[in-house]
Chains A and B, each alone.
Chain A
Amino acid sequence: MKDFSREEIDFVLDTAEKLEPAARGLEKSRLLDGKLVALLFFEPSTRTRLSFETAVNRLGGKTINLGSVEASSVMKGENLADTIRVVSGYADVIVMRHPKDGAGRMASEFSSVPIINGGDGSVHHPTQTILDLYTIRRESHLEGLKIAMAGDLKYGRTVHSLCQALALYGADMTFVSPPELRMPPEIVRELKRQKIRVKETDSFEGIIGDVEVLYMTRVQRERFPDPEEYLKVADSLRIDAKLLKAAKPELKVLHPLPRVNEIEHDVDSTPHACYFEQAFYGVPTRMALLALVAGVIK
């Protein structure tokens, strides 16, 4: 995401907005008519895969894929570089997800067709960031946003990437996490260098009433050697409808999903819940990326 300028991001988001009626099935798009998109998922990620598959279909394109089981057997013994060279002979675009860090970058060196990185290792998840930005733009606003991000901010790549992208628009950021899962200091330093107002805290106290977007993330059990400690932390970072009573009416709660228990189900029926809509926005943003890399929109 670091490599994108604000203008480039805006262009993708504008394109997504134009494609949104087609994503909702209100219009028919034939942009990918006659095009074949290979979905190469070398690790299971049903959610992301489903979203891409929907996007291709909504654009009138066709998909081929490895099938998640075959991915591990058929391709066994063959390196990724060879697989990419073979598949780029079949398809017009490749969407790839791979467990190794940097696999997307390597694939683009070997492919004769455009590659969309649907996540590699723990590093990149560029399409998630674009869809988060799109959600914020549609449901709130990007310019000078007051946002709080909560949960595992140390290892959560989604939030690292998101706050770097939001910095391009100017923002007021509050990071809510236990001390052991704080935002990496180099990211905070970089944000401050870009004149972003940053506040770090370990609870929601005094935060909820002040923000326009609350971005929630999971806290993974594995991060805590002591189960008691995990429960304590997870509990302090849980939101429910009662807590949101203090919120501004326009507050939107986002979450990359799946959630564990950080958002109580009673939040779902409040006007603040935005995470299912966010999941839907993955479709128009992926449609935009597909159409742009396939060169059918310029």
Chain B
Amino acid sequence: MREKRDLKVQAIEKGTVIDHIPAGQALNVLHILGISGDFKSTVSFVMNAQGARGKKDVVKIEGKEINVGELNKIALIAPGATVNIIRNFEVKRKYNVIIPNYIEGVLRCINPNCISNSKEPIKSKFAVLQSEEKEVFLRCVYCNSIIYENIVRHLF
């Protein structure tokens, strides 16, 4: 119930609310979703909101329900994020983002000599893997380079 009230404070009629984004990552989330100035809907976000589990960011996209496949991409930088689909000021659906096992575009390969960093008509492609310690890392499908940490730094 508390959750619902929180969301209602900055209520939107319909759209998508992405909650529990690690503090400071809201802009990167928008970036991954390809949301920028020419986006049609109203987008608002709260940074460093005090949540039950510490500081967090929240993003609200009015009038648009973002598709699940798109949203799962943000799990790379916000694995604990939850998505609320709002209709008529009510949370209609709520789910946790799932780390996809394959990701296209979004990130640049760390290897400067990788074919995906040259002027070829291809998108970068990564297999998303997990170490035994459950840490997420990415392997470039082209050159096999691995991105272990600071995944955010490799966003396009």
A: residues with CB less than 8 A from B are 79-81, 98-103, 105-106, 109, 120-123
Contacts and interface: CB of A to CB of B under 8 A. Distances in A.
Contacts of B115: 80, 98, 100-103, 105-106, 120-121
Interface string B79-122: 00000000000000000000000000000000101111011111
A81 B141 CA distance: 17
A101 B114 contact: yes
Nearest to B112: A101
Given A100-B113, A101-B111, A79 B121 contact: yes
Given A79-B118, A101-B113, A101-B143, 8 more contacts: A99-B113, A102-B141, A105-B142, A106-B120, A106-B142, A109-B122, A121-B114, A122-B113
B120 A123 contact: no
24 contacts: A79-B118, A79-B120, A79-B121, A80-B115, A80-B120, A81-B121, A99-B113, A100-B115, A100-B118, A101-B113, A101-B114, A101-B115, A101-B144, A102-B116, A102-B141, A102-B142, A103-B115, A105-B142, A106-B120, A106-B142, A109-B122, A121-B114, A121-B143, A123-B144
A80 B114 CA distance: 13
Among B111, B143, B145, residue most surrounded by chain A Cβ atoms (within 10 Å): B143
B121 A102 contact: no
B146 to A, nearest CB: 9
B140 interface: yes
The A contact surface, by secondary structure, is: mixed
Nearest to A2: B144
Interface residues on B, range: 10 to 19
A102 B119 contact: no
Contacts, number: 50
Nearest to A82: B121
Given A105-B141, A123-B143, A123-B144, A100 B122 contact: no
Given A101-B142, A102-B140, A121-B143, A79 B111 contact: no
Contacts of A81: 120-122
A123 B142 CA distance: 10
Contacts of B145: 101
B114 A100 contact: yes
Contacts of A109: 122
A46 to B, nearest CB: 22
A100 B120 CA distance: 11
Interface in B108-156: 111, 113-116, 118-122, 140-145
A80 B143 CA distance: 16
Q: 5 tightest A-B contacts by CB?
A: A102-B142, A101-B143, A102-B143, A102-B115, A100-B115
Interface in B21-73: none
Contacts of A79: 118-121
A144 B117 CA distance: 41
Contacts of B143: 101-102, 121, 123
Nearest to A120: B115
Nearest to B140: A102
Nearest to A107: B115
Contact of A106 (B111, B122, B144): B122
A255 B140 CA distance: 30
A48 B115 CA distance: 21
Contacts of B113: 99-101, 121-122
A109 B115 CA distance: 13
B123 to A, nearest CB: 11
Nearest to B141: A105
Contacts of A121: 113-115, 143
A122 B115 CA distance: 12
A79 B119 CA distance: 7
A121 B114 CA distance: 8
B143 to A, nearest CB: 4
A81 B121 CA distance: 7
A103 B115 CA distance: 6
Contacts of B141: 102, 105
Nearest to B118: A100
